[in-house]
Amino acid sequence: MRILLWNCCNGFGDQSKIDYIKSFNPDIAVIPEIKQKNIDQIKPDDSVWITNNHANPIPKGLGVLGFNGYKFTRLPRDEEMEIFIPLRVIKDSFAFNLLAVWNFYYASKQGRFKDLRGPECLEYSALRHYQPMFSDPSLIIGDWNLGPTFSQPSFLKIVDMASQSGMKSIYHEFFKLPHDQTNHSTFRQIRKGVPLLHHLDHIFGSKFFYENISDFLIDDFTNVVRSDHAPVVLDININKQI
């Protein structure tokens, strides 16, 4: 099974971005900043899409796309948690829970988490709220807008909260790195001609996933098509029976 995580940066404006995402041949794709109309262009077997920008007539959102027969069942969702999507992923006899994430840090647009910081902020509250779904096998995948090189204390708290549910950072498990370090960047921002590089896109997995990693890839920015994020690709050997 191949899982793709890619913040596509304001949707799919031309065919080159569609060709790029298809070049990875994912079974499941978690795509922050995708627009709803883009989903028909990509033609997945199944999809779920949510936005929090209801004032925009063509807003960006978070999309989860299934290919090669992978389908989704929506699980109960707190509508004020922007944007966390709980799903059951199913293909034939194989199934697992997935929490897809496009985290706005303290920049929620409405509801009880708007502008909220501190221990009750959205990202911590969402992990507590959805903790019951993190039985093995399960994944948490998304753009967290924090990481080992940006808002490190918050990232380490996320890592700790995930670990309390038996979930590990797949990147750090695969590359055998401590959680406060990274050898890759998934986000590139240019300010005054100087690139700022951070690792913001993360996958957390339960025991089944971190024990069955076939490969883990972060594409080089020289290959990335019109986005400030690099794709993250996780290959899992699912031949082992749950």
Sign of CA dihedral 88, 89, 95, 101: negative
Q: Which amino acid, residue 93?
A: S
- The answer to whether the beta carbons of residues 139 and 96 sit under 8 Å apart is yes
Within 8 A by CB and 6+ apart from 184, the residues are 171, 199, 218, 230
pLDDT digit string, tens, across residues 149-197: 999 999 999 999 999 999 999 999 999 999 999 999 999 988 777 888 9
As a whole number, mean pLDDT of residues 15-25 equals 96
Question: What predicted TM-score, i.e. pTM, was given to this entire model?
Answer: 0.96
Q: What gap in Å lies between CA 38 and CA 59, rounded to an integer? A: 11
Residue 83 is predicted with a pLDDT of 94
pLDDT digit string, tens, across residues 62-85: 999 999 999 999 999 999 998 999
Asked whether residue 111 carries a pLDDT value surpassing 90, the answer given is: no
- The answer to whether the beta carbons of residues 36 and 60 sit under 8 Å apart is no
Asked whether residue 9 carries a pLDDT value surpassing 60, the answer given is: yes
pLDDT digit string, tens, across residues 49-61: 999 988 899 999 9
Residue 116 is predicted with a pLDDT of 87
Q: What percent of the chain has pLDDT over 70?
A: 98
Q: Specify which residues 3 forms β-bridges with.
A: 28, 234
**Over the chain, what is the mean pLDDT?**
94
Residue 106's pLDDT band (cuts 50, 70, 90):
low
As a whole number, mean pLDDT of residues 24-46 equals 97
Pick from 11-25, 99-113, 171-185: least confident:
99-113
Q: How many CB atoms lie within 10 A of CB 83?
A: 25
The DSSP annotation for 60-125 comes to EEEEEEE-TT-EEEEPP--TTSTTEEEEEEEETTEEEEEEEEE--TT-B-SGGGBT--STTSHHHH
The reply to whether CATH 3.40.50.720 applies to domain 2-236 is no
Residue 239 is predicted with a pLDDT of 85
Sign of CA dihedral 180, 182, 187, 191: positive
Q: What gap in Å lies between CA 87 and CA 150, rounded to an integer? A: 28
Helix (H, G, I), strand (E, B) or coil at 18: helix
Q: What gap in Å lies between CA 118 and CA 233, rounded to an integer? A: 32
- The answer to whether the beta carbons of residues 195 and 149 sit under 8 Å apart is no
Q: Which amino acid, residue 43?
A: K
Within 8 A by CB and 6+ apart from 190, the residues are 196
Q: Which helix (H) or strand (E) holds 33?
A: strand 28-35
Within 8 A by CB and 6+ apart from 211, the residues are none
Asked whether residue 105 carries a pLDDT value surpassing 70, the answer given is: no
Asked whether residue 7 carries a pLDDT value surpassing 90, the answer given is: yes
